[in-house]
Structure 1
Amino acid sequence: MDPVVTAQAGISTREAEVLTLLGEHLSNAEIGARLYISVRTVETHVSSLLRKLGAPDRRALAQLATEWSRAARGGRAASGLPSPVTRFVGRARERADLAGAIRAHRQVSAVGPGGVGKTRLALAVAGDVAGDFADGVWFVDLVPITDSAMVGAAVAAAVGIGEQQGRGLDESVVAALADRHALLVLDNCEHLRDGVAPFLERLLTGCPRLTVLATSRARLMVPFERVHPVPPLSLDGDDDAVALFLERAAAVGWPITPEQRDQVAEICARLDGVALAIELAAARLPLLGLDGLAAGDQLRLLTGGARADDRHRSVRAMLDWSYALLDEDDRTLLRRIAVFVAPFTADAAGRVAAFAPLEPGAVFDGLARLAEQSLLTATPATGGMRYRTLATIRQYGTEQLTGAGELDDVRARHLRWCVASATDLAGQVRPADGPWRIRFDAVADDLRAALGRAAADPGHRGDAHRLAVALAEAAFTRNLAGEAQQRYEQAAALAEDDADTAEALRRAAAVAGCRLLGDDMYRLHRAAADAAARAGDKTGAARQLSTAATTAYRFSGAFTQVPPPDEPEALLREARALAGRDPATEAAVVLAEAAVLADAFGSDQGPSDNAVAETLAAATRAVDLARRANDPLAVSAALDSLAGAQSWAGDSFGAAATARGRIELLSAVSVQPASMHELTDALVSGVDTSLGVGDLHTARRWSRQLADLPLLAEVGHYALSWRLMVDVLAGEAHDVLAASDRFLEAWERTGRLRAPRLAATAAAVAMLHGLRGDDGARAQWLGIADRLGATPERSVGYGAVFDATVHLHHGRPEAALQCVAAEPAQVWKWVTWIWLHWYVALGAEAAALAGHSDARARIAAARATVGANPIAAAQLDRAEALLDGDRARLLATADAFEAAGAPYQRARTLLLAGGDEAAIGAAAMTGGGIDPGAPLPTL
């Protein structure tokens, strides 16, 4: 980022860093982790950047970052390409041809044998064409990936895409890149063709502006593929092979004289022009000199044979030769470090490779010598130097391990190191975002590779199970919820007894809950019940059966296909038969009974008094039993059921108090999938119930806590949704306008995923635009609400409240009254949970402003409902003051609204008061971004 440009715009150093990372299309959570700051701080910087740069939304900021970076680099677009440590040499024709192929085709595969130089050519060409892609270039190194199912995860990590709730990571990647004009470089695809090919097909189908450059030893066989062969370096004409040798010779301090050029050309010809073989040979110059390198015995094994049939032969021969020239310790070290799939530290190499005959002290010096011989690379990194071998050299080292009879021993040591590393990472319950994430990312690919090998080896089943559990825990902390669920399910399959299987499946179900995958939750709880039953744990089986039954009702909105009622009811009957007298199990059974009862009175006519009483009794008993069992998560689930029953009964304050107690309870519980799922749900309930009783201060606090939860922070529109709702109801227009742009951009990045729970937020934003007098924007946001999943029935609740508010604002009380004309009992299902107090207060105020004869009766009836709700009570006081012509009482409501954190309602009161106060109210509204509208100046 150009410091002159940013300084002129009034952008601080930290804001410039955030802007740069926005240009790399990172999420707020990823930016926070990169800069070691909280998600909330990132949001503050983004809001500041939007204001300072006059950008309409986050996407525009990212585009500005790209353009400024391009200008700073002399017109070349910013990209996510790694910086090679050596200069690219030659291949001018191949470079131009490949660039042309990328510009003409959506998927190009650069194909050639190992060591021929595919990666370096791809990097050079990607840099050449970066300016053609408005959204930049991303590089994905697939060398460390050993599981075909992790291809999408590797792309997501490189691009900075988090998993979206309700869908898998592969789907999230396709949705996030759907409208990006970018180049994606997938390097070293050959060992993952079964995973790369289907992923690429979905990606290119769903992302019409995306271009992919892949490197592979064999074509990928995908429909869009254009194969571009990568030949060895030329040995005549431009003589790129010789040029590469000269470049690398100079790098090791061994310049070649003109008269030695023919000798170099002969060596390069014997090496078939293969780049890796030439680089390995040049690295030997300080030891052998050019004459020694070209001596008969040194290169005899490189001659002869049908090289045209197997260009890789010269690389293998050069590796044999280089390996033979090493001393015994360095040969031992080279083959043993081949077990690492990702860059590793000297300490890690010592723990895995340092056993007889290799002494621990020989590892560090040995790594340095291998780097000098170009057999591995050394790169400074956070926490010290990291070493890495090329894929070709690692494969060679694995062959040597096998030949030396050490393969099983070294892999076993690597597995033990991985188990220890994963266990250590998982044991840090609340790791700091930055350093912990760096440590996890550095070892994650080795953990996955070791797990894949161990899972396939019956002799290491126990270690594989432990590693799968630890990796699942660490992946969850890293916000890789999809992988966490996968690893828990893998741990269940690897467990050596059914009790461990049941526990792993239970945890997998909790992660599925965090992902809003109701079908998976239901499936996994049932599977955990089966495993517990096999283990002879009847109470455990009963708890899981009960939880499955509860899930079908409690989280029905997260299902793609809700089970038919008779199915969870059958589970409940089975659970009752197994439950016994264990309090925790009894609590789970009673909670399921409460869920069934609550669902049974879900008709449009509303529940009967008996049904409400039965549900309240069952929920209360479940709470008592869970507390007796000293199980805070069971208590939380039971409190959720109780809050729902209180809400249906019209006890809004009781529901809010219950939700508050639930959040306080969970704040002391350690972070794990089940507690995170409960806390997320509790905070949502807390915000909703606080809004329901007019407690905007508490609702705002919990909405911010909700937005800071890591799993929601990755999914921007979910994280923003409840904060938006609070700010809309308060009338904080400027905050809403900025946040709603981010909400919309994040939702579009998901591919406009249907999310009915968020439709109310979109409708609330529409209401705010209605208050601003912007009918076009209001219609746009109502359309967004429809696409999110708003239903006509549900709009009776929040839709009636929002529409009535807009009508009152613009002086249309009769129209407002029509919106809330139905008695609450007629539409109880849609107004009870949050909107009951807002609904009845608006009806009373509309009747008063319209001069209806029953206005006082409406106000009195509403008071009995809203009780101590500070906003609804002030609204009723205002309506009564208007009827009575009591100016002092009317102005007192302005102070009440201000104390309740409702600046819009305060300004509206001043407008209604008329006189000098009306001018103050109009100025307050205008300053707050709202059109003063046309209220009725009764006083």
Structure 2
Amino acid sequence: MRRATERIEPRARSPAQRTVTIGASGTGAFEHRASGGGSAGREAVTMQHPWDAGDALPEEATSLVGRASEIRAARDALGRARLVTLTGPGGVGKTRVALRVARDLAGTFPDGVQMVELSGLRDGALLAETVAGAMGLRDSMAAPTADLLVECLRDRRFLLVLDTCEHLVADCAAFARRLLDGCSGLRLLVTSRQPLGLAAERVLPVPPLAVTAESGDAVELFVARALEAVPDLPVTATARRRIALLCRRLDGIPLAIELAAVRLRTLPLEGLVRRMDELFWLLGDGPSETPRHQALRTTVGWSHELCAPPERLLWARLSVFAGGFDLAMAERVCADERLDRHAVAVGLAGLVDKSVVHRTGDRYDMLDTLREYGAAWLEAVEPIRPLCERHRDCVAELARRAADAWLTDAEERWVRRLDAERDNVRAALEFCFTVPGEALAGLRLAGALWSTWLCRSRFTEGRYWFDRGLELVTEAVPERADALWRNAYLCTNQGDSPEAFPMAAEALALARRGGDEPAYARALRTLGTAATFVGEHDRAGRCFEEALAVMRERGLRGDLIMLHVLRGFHRARSGEPKTALAECDEALHLLRNAPNEIWIRSWAGYVKALAHWFLDDVEGCAREVRASLAAFRRIDDPVGLTNTFELLGWVFARRRQYAEGAVLLGAASRYPAKVGVPRLGDTALESLHEQLEGQARSALGLDRFTAEHERGMALTLDETVRFACGGA
């Protein structure tokens, strides 16, 4: 093991100047002076056009019955108040009203409408990251994500819908206050079982559906759902009177009505009415419970009673999932000696048939009210921790498979799969970092998720979990060393190298002490990356050289691929562009058995384009950057897209096609707001940008340049890609 010594001042996040000195045999001493927080923390973020977040509103799975007055009231309230909260008990239909209001008002908010569902979020500290991610903003900025959101929405006319906030009321209230204080054109529509408690809040209770003798919205909802369950059901006048009695007994609660309607598959309508009367007499809890709570609880309780014992146990165990799951996950988590895998599969089908679980494609989910009922039942029937451990292990297995797929042809598929499990991932990490004895497992899980966070530019979230784990695991164990260098690398991606140096140095010391050469080499690679981004090219070169020797000796193919691309960027920036091309070609050679890998290939293409630029080979630069642009678009990497748009803007300027260059520079200027660190945080690249933008402005004149620049800012993402590829 190569020896290393470290001298590090205490880690700090304050803006005070500090010195970090790191020594390693063969690498020289790192002495870095900088202001805390990195360049990203000071970068002004601007946004001149709504971003491309796709369809920001979910589809309505079933027809909406009634609610015209509630929708009208909410629309009117949003015209007068900046924060409107729809309140009411579970199952009353708050989400459906909010969704329809958002759809109706979409045309009146020129900068966009976004609905963010929060039921799967259990940690309020990740609220801003969750909202930013839903809006297509990547949390790759070192400054707080809430600040990024404020900067992006500051002058925009935008409607943000936060759905299911009751379990995060204090966090949602603070978040709402922060956004409303900083964004004058923002409107917030919130659904919650209780108000947020802000002075600016307009609270609108969502009442149950109306019931009359033979009609009313409650009756129409029952009829609609009954015909879905039993298409040939005769809906006579007598039937409607019975339905009205039933809906009145259910207090007009939509979820209770829908659960009752599905029972017509096994009971005639008259028998259903009689059975509900019996249930309310047997299961009533007395005067302490409001009628509407009793109605819903009784209906859910009856659905539970109608389940076979294995289905009841499965219902309870499925409550451990945050968000959705598939059959394999349900089997992995819920099966044991009491409930085998076959029973899980059969039980899941039964719960779907009873409308307890909803199926969409190959994924399943439960409404919050039904999940809460299952969770309460679970506490009464068995210990919860073993189930949470199986859930953690299930998520960890998915994360390991995703990590194994990194830099292979399966990479993109697994990145998208982990996207779908984001709520489950967070629940598993929260379990690890709150339950005694689980922190080491949490750091291992975070380490397996690292490559997915990289591919998705979720640097802030990754750092959040690593920071939590490192606070708990302070002993000199391999998990700590691994987490330190991974966390340090995330810092460098946020332009926050001053934070990276001490963490990488500690990882280096722990790896050397433990004789862990792979971890030692990875820590060296991270140190080299941090040095590159602060312009310490000689020191970066020495770190990379030593890491290369270890990785070659140990046959660490994936690590070598990443190292060669990083060395390529370093060589391009330190005056050796031909060597940079060779480094990237070596990385691509190591990838020869993975022709469909996309993430590192796209970055290798960008680095090669940059190398051609510094070789004064404008056409070679255009060729490489155009290929990498298509790859970045495919994997949806806004950091890569930003930098390819920028580089193509330079190409046009060099060709004296200044109008086209201004368009692309305008397009690129949109995206730093989404990625936090423009031009990779490199000050030299920033100088090139200013030089070439100045040339375009001089050639076109201020008015023409401004017009073309604004045209680029107004293009959608796909329009920008087509423009760039068609003209480059």
TM-score (norm 2): 0.76
2:421 maps to what in 1? 443
SS at 2:56 equivalent = coil
Alignment of 1:768-783 (within 5 A): 768-772=696-700, 774-777=701-704
**What pairs up with 1:590-601 in 2 under 5 angstroms?**
594-595=538-539
Q: In structure 2, the residue corresponding to 1:312 is in which secondary structure?
A: helix
The alpha carbon displacement at 1:232 in A equals 2.3
Q: Which residue of 2 aligns with 1:725?
A: 650
1:177 Cα deviation (Å)? Answer: 3.4
> Structure 1 266/687 Cα, relative in aligned 2: closer, same or farther at 3 Å?
closer
Q: Is the 8 A contact 1:115 1:312 kept in 2?
A: no
Q: Does 1:252 align with 2:239?
A: no
Q: How does 1:506-521 map to 2 (within 5 A)?
A: 506-521=485-500
Asked if residue 695 in structure 1 is aligned to residue 629 in structure 2, the reply is: no
Partner of 1:270: 249
Give the 3 Å change call, closer, same or farther, for CA 354–664 of structure 1 in structure 2: same
Map 1:531-550 to 2 at 5 A.
none
CA offsets 1:859-908 (integer angstroms, 9 cap, x no match) = xxxxxxxxxxxxxxxxxxxxxxxxxxxxxxxxxxxxxxxxxxxxxxxxxx
Deviations 1:346-367 (A, max 9, x none): 2322222233433433333433
Q: Which residue does 1:656 correspond to in 2?
A: 577
Identity among equivalent positions (%) equals 30
CA 1:235–1:525 in 2, change beyond 3 Å: closer, same or farther? same
How many angstroms apart in 2 are the aligned matches of 1:640 and 1:184?
39
The amino acid of 2:452's aligned partner reads A
Instruction: Write the distance in 2 (CA, Å) between the matches of 1:308 and 1:404.
Output: 24
SS at match of 2:209: coil
Choose which of 395, 405, 410 in structure 1 pairs with 2:387. 410
From 470, 477, 489, the counterpart of 2:455? 477
CA gap of 1:307–1:185, structure 2 versus 1, over 3 A, is farther
Residue type at the aligned position of 1:116: V
Find the aligned partners of 2:599 and 2:217 in 1 and give their Cα distance: 59
Cα separation, partners in 2 of 1:688 and 1:420, compared to 1, 3 Å: closer
Task: Give the secondary structure class of the aligned counterpart of 1:214.
Answer: strand
Change in 2 beyond 3 A, CA 1:333/1:272? same
Conservation of the 8 A alpha-carbon contact between 1:136 and 1:181: yes
Deviation per residue, 1:422-453 (Å, 9 max, x gap): 11112101355764343222222212212212
**Structure-2 separation of matches of 1:225 and 1:764:** 48
Taking CA–CA contacts closer than 8 Å with sequence separation of 6 or more, which of the two structures ends up with the larger relative contact order?
A: 2
Q: Which residue of 2 aligns with 1:160?
A: 136
Give the structure 2 partner of residue 282 of structure 1: 261
Residue 334 (structure 2) aligns with: 353
Task: Work out whether 1:758 is the aligned partner of 2:686.
Answer: yes
The AA in structure 1 aligned to 2:179 is: L
1:745 equivalenced with 2:721 (yes/no): no
**Alpha carbons 1:659, 1:682 under 8 Å: kept:** no
Going from structure 1 to structure 2, the CA distance change for 1:422 and 1:750 (only over 3 Å counts) comes to: closer
Looking at structure 1, the residues matched to 360 and 670 of structure 2 have their Cα atoms a distance apart, in angstroms, of: 37
Q: Match of 2:196, SS? A: coil
Residue in 1 aligned with 2:26? Answer: none
The counterpart of 2:404, out of the listed 427, 438, 447, is: 427
Alpha-carbon displacement from aligned partner over 1:719-739 (angstroms, at most 9, x marks no partner): 322232233223344642442
Code of the aligned partner of 2:485: R
Task: Measure, in 1, the Cα distance between the counterparts of 2:516 and 2:341.
Answer: 52
Answering whether residue 293 of structure 2 is matched by residue 312 of structure 1, we say yes
- Which amino acid is 1:718 matched to? N
Q: CA deviation at 1:215?
A: 0.6
Match of 2:367 among 390, 402, 406: 390
1:367–1:259 distance in 2 versus 1, CA, 3 Å: same
Quote how far apart the aligned CAs of 1:112 are. Answer: 1.3
Report the secondary structure of 2:325's partner residue.
Answer: coil
Larger radius of gyration: 1
Tell whether the 8 Å contact from 2:316 to 2:374 is kept in structure 1 after alignment: yes
Q: Which amino acid aligns with 1:104?
A: R
**Aligned pairs (5 A) from 1:631-642:** none
* Counterpart mapping for 1:578-657 below 5 A: 594-595=538-539, 628-629=549-550, 655-657=576-578
Aligned residue for 1:369? 350
Correspondence for 1:466: 444
Q: CA separation in 1, counterparts of 2:443 and 2:545?
A: 36
- 1:470 maps to a residue whose letter is A
1:72-91 correspondence to structure 2 within 5 Å: 80-91=56-67
8 A Cα contact 1:301 1:317, kept in partner: no
1:763 touches 1:782 (CA, 8 Å); kept in 2? no
Q: Distance in 2 between matches of 1:84 and 1:677?
A: 34
Matched residues in 2 for 1:528 and 1:88: separation? Answer: 56
Match of 2:695 among 746, 758, 767: 767
Q: Take 1:193 and 1:483, find their aligned partners in 2: how far apart are those partners? A: 21
Aligned mates of 2:496, 2:182 — CA distance in 1: 23
For the structure 1 residues 344 and 157, does the alpha-carbon distance in structure 2 shift closer, same or farther, using more than 3 Å as the test? same
Structure 2 counterpart of 1:436, which letter? W
Q: Report the Cα distance in structure 2 between the residues aligned to 1:186 and 1:731, rounded to whole angstroms.
A: 47
Question: Where do 5+ consecutive residues of structure 1 fail to align?
Answer: 1-57, 67-77, 558-590, 596-618, 784-927, 930-939
The residue aligned with 1:325 is: 306
Could you tell me which residue of structure 2 aligns to residue 149 of structure 1?
Answer: 125
Displacement of 1:305 in angstroms is 2.8
1:202 aligned to 2:178?
yes
Measured in 2, the distance between the counterparts of 1:422 and 1:182 equals 35
1:294 and 2:282 equivalent? Answer: no
Match of 1:883 in 2: none
Contact 2:406 2:451 in 1 (8 A): no
For 1:479, the aligned partner's letter is: S
Report the Cα distance in structure 1 between the residues aligned to 2:109 and 2:296, rounded to whole angstroms.
35
Candidates 168, 188, 192, aligned match of 2:164 = 188
Structure 2 match to 1:341: 322
Separation in 1, partners of 2:410, 2:462: 19
Letter in 1 for 2:650: M
Q: Which amino acid aligns with 2:482?
A: E
- Superposed displacement of residue 475, structure 1: 2.4
Q: Distance in 2 between matches of 1:188 and 1:680?
A: 38
Question: Structure 1 length as normaliser, TM-score?
Answer: 0.60
Equivalent residue for 1:128, pick from 94, 104, 116: 104
CA positional deviation for 1:761: 1.8
Tell me how far apart the structure 2 counterparts of residues 682 and 256 of structure 1 sit (CA, whole Å): 66
Native 8 Å contact 1:471 1:487 kept in 2? no
CA shift for structure 1 position 276: 1.6
1:86 aligns to what SS in structure 2?
coil
**1:630 deviation in Å?**
5.2
1:284 match: secondary structure: helix
- Residue by residue over 1:771-792, the C-alpha shift from the partner in whole angstroms, topping out at 9 and shown as x without a partner, is 34x3544689999xxxxxxxxx
**Aligned-residue CA RMSD (Å):** 4.2
- Check conservation: 2:577, 2:615, Cα contact below 8 A: yes
Match of 2:150 in 1: 174
Whether the 8 Å contact between 1:302 and 1:314 is mirrored in structure 2 is no
- Per the alignment, residue 455 of structure 1 pairs with 433
Structure with greater proportional helix content: 1
Residues 173 and 197, structure 2, Cα contact 8 Å, conserved in 1: yes
1:506, distance to aligned residue in structure 2 (A): 0.6
Distance 1:623 1:531 in 2: 19
CA contact 1:175–1:750 (8 Å) conserved in 2: no
Whole-angstrom CA distance in 1 between matches of 2:63 and 2:357: 17
* 1:219-243: CA deviation from partner (whole Å, max 9, x where unpaired): 1234542221222223459743333
**Count of residues in correspondence between the two structures:** 640
State the one-letter code of the partner of 1:768: A
